Amino acid sequence: MTAPATPAPRTVPTPGADAPAPLDRRGLVVGVSAVAVTIVAVFVGSEGLRWFDAALAGYLAGTLFAIFGVAYRYTVWLRRPPTARLNRRGWEAFLRPGRRGRNVAHLPGLLVRNVLLQTFILRRSISRWLAHQLIFWGCVLAVLVTFPLTFGWLHFQSVGQDAQQYQAFVAGIGTFEFASRSVLGWTIFHLLDIAAILVLAGVAIFLGRRLRDPGAIAIERSNDFLALAGLFAVSVTGLMLTVSSLWMEGSFYVFLTNLHALTVILGLLYIPFGKLFHIFQRPANIGIEYYKTEGARGGALDCRSCGKPFASALQIGDLEAILPRLGFDYSLADGDNYQRTCPRCRRRLLTQAQSARVRGFG
Amino acid sequence: MIGPSALGDGMFVVDPSRCIGCEACVQACGECGTHRGRSLIHLDQVDRSTTVQTVPMVCMHCEDPTCAQVCPADAIKQNEDGVVQSALKPRCVACSNCVLACPFGVPKYEADFDLMMKCDMCYDRTSQGVAPMCASVCPSQALWFGTPEEFADTRRGTLTNEFQFGNETVRTRVHTVVDEPGPLQVTAGPTESPWQDDPFGLATVEA
């Protein structure tokens, strides 16, 4: 793709000046398609709605909205010039003939380190990493339990006439059996309580940090608290259901059921808009890893000022192509581009120009 | 473009020509509440064999930040005070587009965190009307924070916040000091600046 000769008008609005944008057609198509695929999967997976639990219909509606919203936003996000280019470059690097085997072999390690264990957070601080891991695994556990239940993909049946013996069915196929009064049975029926406790522990650590750290307080936004408040509300109202049935003889159970459903559905509605969208965005880091490897293989670019190599020629070329589309023109009088200057020389040039303007030692 | 702000009429002025390279700012920067333990200010030397000039660089907080525009993850945000913040940690995908595209060479890619970090003008301090860490310790006032009136009372020179890089004019929230009004031409002059042989401008003084 070649860049247009004249810079396009700046696309990112200044704070407070954003006009309402029209709906993105491709985003709509992708969003609606994702919802349609999910509905078909629900229908098939629940054996024609035979195992679909009507009591969970509200959760399904919330989930479908979240799927639409996430698919829509992801599609729109991928169309921003820098995102589109890095997305394409990432896949090109991954699928490069002669490199595919190595790239695939490299993938599990990247997924474990960057997506599952998030070791990059561990190097920032242990408490942050622990909090993030607790919330991450709590949410993963909750999603693995609730989505199949909501979609009608998972149900339990007693085995024959033995009321104590249960069997789990996934998409109508019988899987493992367990005794409902066993440790395994107790654990399975309390998986969501366990998830809630994991999430609450993580929320407590994050909240403590947000309330105490002056640096965090200075730069935080309402979004940061909203995400924590949502996770807290979902977990606490969910736990209250167990509390009601175990120790309150079922008091307020119906009210609590509705309250929990409300928090979960609001949470699902929030996912595409707020901070939690990073769940879908941040894994793009995997593509960047391949892009960086590709850039390193392709050779470095020498700084036009000091002559030393400073970045991959691939990435500087990409920036030179993207910048005019974003409304920037860093071309120089001699036909070269300022972007071919290394960051250190950029700082030096500024200082030398300023110092010369005030005739040194102003 | 930038409305009433938590910074009041506080103004951050960078005058590299006054920098003596003492590195007090480098130490102080690491104490900043928003990125404790990591110093994000740059302090380089031009060329030790030819000049004693040193190069301090903080984020200039562009009105239309190139770094934010080239970010594929939409991770760099400008707040209502026009302060361009460090990358949002959940979003940054560590591609280094911002590091390479910033005309001032400011953002740093922190490899162990797999994250871009940059100066956020000590927003925990400046939003309370207190000078940034670096400006609070700078002995030569190369890094200075105050009101325009204080500047007029105590300093020489004219302020500018316009920088010319080839065809691109960049306007910033942080100001620098020049002789006459007008944008600072960063790329116009020769790479080796002639003043190094005449740091006090004696040759240009009329006899």
Residue B3 has pLDDT above 60, yes or no: no
What average pLDDT does the segment B72-79 reach? 94
Between these two residues, A71 and B52, which has the higher pLDDT value?
A71
pLDDT (0 to 100) of residue A221: 76
Minimum distance, in Å, between the CA of residue B29 and any CA atom of chain A: 13
Tokens, residue A51 = 């195992």
Q: Cβ separation of A350 and B167 shorter than 8 Å? A: no
Residue B6 has pLDDT above 80, yes or no: no
Percent of chain A with pLDDT over 70: 94
Cβ of residue B38 closer than 8 Å to a chain A Cβ: no
Give the integer Cα–Cα distance in Å for B150 and A156: 75
What average pLDDT does the segment A186-206 reach? 96
Minimum distance, in Å, between the CA of residue A132 and any CA atom of chain B: 11
Between these two residues, B8 and A259, which has the higher pLDDT value?
A259
Minimum distance, in Å, between the CA of residue A41 and any CA atom of chain B: 30
pLDDT (0 to 100) of residue B1: 37
pLDDT (0 to 100) of residue B5: 63
Q: Cβ separation of A350 and B124 shorter than 8 Å? A: no
Where b means 16+ CB within 10 Å and e means fewer, A77-94 reads bbebbbbbbbbebbeebb
Whether the Cβ atoms of residue A123 and residue B94 lie closer than 8 Å to each other: no
Q: Cβ separation of B200 and A316 shorter than 8 Å? A: no
The residue type at B141: Q
Minimum distance, in Å, between the CA of residue B148 and any CA atom of chain A: 18
pLDDT (0 to 100) of residue A362: 37
Give the integer Cα–Cα distance in Å for B40 and A289: 24
**Plot region of A249 (φ>0 → left; ψ -120 to 50 → alpha; else → beta):** left
Residues of B in contact with A216 (CB under 8 A): 34
Q: Which domains does chain A have, with CATH numbers?
A: 25-287 (1.20.950), 299-357 (no CATH)
Tokens, residue A36 = 């349609």
Residues of A in contact with B17 (CB under 8 A): 351, 354-355, 358, 360-362
Q: How many residues does chain A have?
A: 362
List pLDDT tens digits, range A327-360.
999 999 989 999 999 999 999 999 999 998 887 6
Cβ of residue B152 closer than 8 Å to a chain A Cβ: no
Instruction: Give the residue from A315, A341, A343 showing the smallest Cα distance to A330.
Output: A341
DSSP A264-296: HHHHHHHTTTSGGGHHHHGGGHHHHHHHHHHHH
Q: If you measure CA to CA, which chain B residue comes closest to A15?
A: B80
Angle (nearest 5°) at CA A188 between A184 and A189: 120
Where b means 16+ CB within 10 Å and e means fewer, B157-186 reads bebbbbbbbbebebebbbbbbbeeeeebeb
Tokens, residue B144 = 């200075």
Cβ of residue B119 closer than 8 Å to a chain A Cβ: no
3-state secondary structure of A301: strand
Angle (nearest 5°) at CA B135 between B131 and B136: 65
Q: Cβ separation of A10 and B69 shorter than 8 Å? A: yes
Residue A180 has pLDDT above 90, yes or no: no
List pLDDT tens digits, range A2-46.
444 444 445 444 444 456 778 899 999 999 999 999 999 999 999
Residue B197 has pLDDT above 70, yes or no: no
List pLDDT tens digits, range A49-62.
999 999 999 999 99
DSSP A141-164: HHHHHHHHHHTT-EEEEEETTEEE
Residue B4 has pLDDT above 80, yes or no: no
3-state SS string for A29-55: HHHHHHHHHHHHHHHHHCCCCCCCCHH
The complex scores an ipTM of 0.90
List pLDDT tens digits, range A258-297.
999 999 999 999 999 989 999 999 999 999 999 999 999 9
Residues of A in contact with B33 (CB under 8 A): 213-215, 218
Cβ of residue B113 closer than 8 Å to a chain A Cβ: yes
What average pLDDT does the segment A71-87 reach? 96
Q: Cβ separation of A120 and B113 shorter than 8 Å? A: yes
List pLDDT tens digits, range B129-179.
899 999 999 999 999 999 999 999 999 899 999 999 999 999 999 999 999
* Closest CB to A326 among B42, B55, B70: B70
Residue B95 has pLDDT above 50, yes or no: yes
pLDDT (0 to 100) of residue B33: 86
Residues of A in contact with B205 (CB under 8 A): none
DSSP state of A6: S
Q: How many residues does chain B have?
A: 207
Q: Cβ separation of A352 and B193 shorter than 8 Å? A: yes
Residue A161 has pLDDT above 70, yes or no: yes
pLDDT (0 to 100) of residue A2: 43
pLDDT (0 to 100) of residue B104: 97
Question: What is the assigned CATH class of domain B11-201?
Answer: alpha beta
